[in-house]
Structure 1
Amino acid sequence: MCVKLENEIFKVEVAENGAELTSLKSKKNENEYIWTADSKYWGRHAPILFPIVGRLKNNQYRINDKVYDLPQHGFARDMKFQVESKSDDKVVFKLLWDEETIKKYPYKFELRVTYVLNGDTIEISYNVKNVDDKDIVFSIGAHTGFNCPVIGKQSEEDELKFNNYYFEFEKPETVGVSRLNGDSLLRRNTSPFLYASNIINLDEKLFKQGVLIFKDLNSKSISLKNNKNKSTITVKFDGFPYLGLWSKESGAPFVCIEPWFGHADFEDFNGDFREKEDGIKLEAGKEFTCTYSISINE
């Protein structure tokens, strides 16, 4: 089932399964901004990544000499969340630990995901509460897909194509990019990517080597723009240490903008979950909250 939100600008749908944003539609012109999850390319819209981001080495990790299996990006994206509260322009979902999650992830937690419409912006917050009697370790992140070109009348009239689009960081960046290896594990080295520039042009070659991973950017936001009209999607990710940009290596009419607290295991990682360099360590009874937002300028 989907929960519907609405304000003067947007109609929004969020699935109870995975608390996944499935539609962000403009009331002005019926533009659909969220990726359609066409399984020909990628069968998801905007999954939530928890309690890991990316892939583990051998899809396994270890705590106190016990080995656990956990698939890429964790389990939250495939679980049904409960609706804790709902109004016209806000919904709070919650996911609680249970006997099944303990088999994959031996920690007791509460995960809340909040969607709030505020004018031309939708804010998405993740709150993790440690309800265990010991420290817990986790990663969390977004994997939001956007139609590229945007689906709508204006895109058709302007004959927009994928290579009419570009990313624009808030500030000029001199930064390298990290890549995954053939096993989807993170290489420690980076490759030069931007030098005093804030523009990344989209073309068929950009994602041939997979996801682009950036760390500790100066920018707190990134925009998806095109060279034919003023339509702009802006994602603010203030506080997130990592940002992933991704589309299918074979080419597809979407791009993902992914703020992360965490990343795939390094190639040389020893498998001890409590030693994950990117892991968030949360004390018993404590909470962790992070927020990113999507703004649309038409």
Structure 2
Amino acid sequence: MTTLNNNHLRVSIRPQGAELTSIFHKSSGIEHLWQADPLVWPWHGPNLFPVVGGCLNNQLLIDGQAYPMERHGFTRRSMFETTESSDTHAVFTLRSSDVTRVHYPYEFLFQVIYEIDGPVLTITYRVVNEDDQTVYFQLGAHPAFTVPFRTGEAYEDYFIEFENEEPLQTHRLTADGYFSGETESVPTTGNRLMLTKSLFDRDALVLKNISSRRVTLQSQHHNHALSVSFSSFPYLGLWAKPGANFVCIEPWLGCADSDGELVPIEQKELIQQVASGKVFEATLTINVE
């Protein structure tokens, strides 16, 4: 376990998946990250790579060959190497190997970089192409934030406030986790999405066409808040296990497949690419206000 510390935050990351396990705000004494109850949902904040969401038939089609690929990719179960570490900065690295090539035939280096500065945690994803061809991928974040923040409050006391007041439309998923082609309006109050225990009964809310690049999780009863800024990520997923005391705020560069036929990786929705010898980076921030 690697721990970052400053006067505001204590942040812990485990080598499996380079996954956040704690975002502790010192002055308030609030643990903001879901503590992975295995009877409810056994993760804290997985990093998603090289796919986001589910692939049809659990397969990824690359150069005409189908490779086995689990939902959200293999990195959340992979052991990363801690290649840099200080009180406020850490770099976790996963290199292509015989294990990854079974699922994803590219030569790559995938890094997750964490840095704290005051009350702000910055997460940078870096994909280095070590192959002699273009590497295609998706990536995303999946942090689960505990709701409510304080004892004596209810889940329904909380809301997610969007940077801009805009209509929200979710893209519906089938029971197997693929896009059905259907959309549905999401009721809001101004720029606020009120949390309820039934909000995610039909799976995640997938927002593809929003202009907001920051959302804030907050109570109606006090000003302690947590915001997520995601300028590098055009899609946003919101999800919780129905009835659980958390909400996931998930910036995505990619998404699940649509129901139908498997398509080559380069045709997947919101697919990213990096040329041979080049580096791709995307950054998000979590700010405890």
Q: Give the TM-score taking structure 1 as reference length.
A: 0.94
2:279 to 287, 295, 298: 287
What letter matches 1:252 in structure 2? A
What is the CA-CA distance between 1:265 and the residue it aligns to? 0.5
Q: Residue by residue, what CA displacement relative to the aligned partner does 1:70-103 show, whole Å, maximum 9, x if unpaired?
A: 1101111111111111111010111100011011
Residue equivalent to 2:37:
38
Q: How does 1:199-214 map to 2 (within 5 A)?
A: 199-214=192-207
Q: Secondary structure at the match of 1:172?
A: coil
Kept in 1: contact 2:208–2:235 (CA 8 A): yes
Kept in 2: contact 1:60–1:271 (CA 8 A): no
- How far apart, in 2, do the equivalents of 1:288 and 1:217 lie? 23
Residue equivalent to 2:248:
256
Structure 2: gaps spanning 5 or more residues: none
Q: Residue by residue, what CA displacement relative to the aligned partner does 1:216-259 show, whole Å, maximum 9, x if unpaired?
A: 3111100011111111010001121100000013x100110000
Residue equivalent to 1:232:
225
What letter matches 2:129 in structure 1? N
What letter matches 1:283 in structure 2? A
Structure 1: gaps spanning 5 or more residues: none
Kept in 1: contact 2:234–2:253 (CA 8 A): yes
Residue equivalent to 2:235:
242
Kept in 2: contact 1:53–1:140 (CA 8 A): yes
- Cα distance change on mapping 1:223 and 1:210 into 2, 3 Å: same
Residue equivalent to 1:25:
24
Matched, 1:170 2:163: yes
- Cα distance change on mapping 1:47 and 1:86 into 2, 3 Å: same
Kept in 2: contact 1:172–1:196 (CA 8 A): no
Kept in 1: contact 2:188–2:194 (CA 8 A): no
What is the CA-CA distance between 1:194 and the residue it aligns to? 5.1
Residue equivalent to 2:5:
6
Kept in 1: contact 2:255–2:269 (CA 8 A): no
Q: Secondary structure at the match of 2:127?
A: strand
Aligned length: 289
Kept in 2: contact 1:115–1:123 (CA 8 A): yes
Q: Percent identity, please.
A: 36
- How far apart, in 1, do the equivalents of 2:42 and 2:99 lie? 25
Q: Secondary structure at the match of 2:255?
A: coil
What is the CA-CA distance between 1:195 and the residue it aligns to? 7.2
Moved over 4 A (4+): none
| RMSD, aligned α-carbons | 1.3
What is the CA-CA distance between 1:189 and the residue it aligns to? 2.8
Matched, 1:190 2:183: yes
- How far apart, in 2, do the equivalents of 1:98 and 1:183 lie? 30
Q: Give the TM-score taking structure 2 as reference length.
A: 0.97
Kept in 1: contact 2:230–2:284 (CA 8 A): yes
- How far apart, in 1, do the equivalents of 2:195 and 2:237 lie? 15
